[in-house]
A and B are shown apart, each in its own frame.
Chain A
């Protein structure tokens, strides 16, 4: 067998590995930096869309129009979003609420009426629920049922919600439904606290 020297056996692999790692890091960092602005813009736009949707405002088609509408209708005060109606009066207060989900954190924008007594709407900003089951919380029927609902909420089997304060759970996603209910009710508590303290 050929005798392998110390350099070839020990040093060379380390040098090659280090060099390759540096090259790979450079490539990935380069791509990351060149798309960073786009990613930040996407995230910003995503939140704007969520706030507008939760506030019950119909979203325009293009991104530029969304940005414009947001500038016009939404004022950020601390962590509260003040959404104004067409007349200029406050139509809704919104804030971001975070809570546990089945696989990861669920983050949602919740909007409330000016008297902070019921929901105007909700939109999810971040969720990792099971696609096709828990992830159905992002489907319109689930989000739309929140419009005008007073809190605290109760969850009833899918398709049976009727009384005020009742929302449909998702069949096959009991845990996700329970977590979402918990998140919405804690948003309700926060709204009530804001009302007592005066907004």
Chain B
């Protein structure tokens, strides 16, 4: 009885969370320029797959494949950069002792508060004075380190038993060796988690790429397809939804592969 109730609740919740996506897909298959369908006409008799062709290949001013490539370049650079820079710092905070360590770590944590609207403007001006606006540098460099992943990795590194590096130290290993040969290999799951977080946060970042790029060749998928609206007149819902599905597909594929680390990972992030 309890089991049945649980399943009922789970299914209802699942529907509630997934129905909008199904709906999105169905609307994207309505004929181009069709008005918004009512529920009973939601399943199209002749799915208009041509909408996908139209959005992907028939938009001379909207290089969707280029947007995709930009997203890939930017996201992977940031993920790699963050893994390296943040893991180094996390090692420092978790396994080494130096003056002011806790204060500096506290500043890292505190900096989580001044993101978003607070620093966007000065970061924009900084990037401008470096001459980076509308280049990959503008999209990548501000993201290659994050206090959040430093925090996440520090938690994981702290959990590795101390005996291991003591043994290594006896063999004459230095800190960098311990970091690269012991801690990093042992923290695969945490690194994967941190990478997964970073991947989704970067891929779906909207505000910064919107601000820091101006030419369509430099736009990421998220920003590029957000402008999928005709400047005049009403929204063309089927094509709009087609663009939305196209944004979602890489995310869902990535999620499918990383989901294990992902759901595990937030646990590492939480304070035990």
Tell me, yes or no, whether A binds B: no
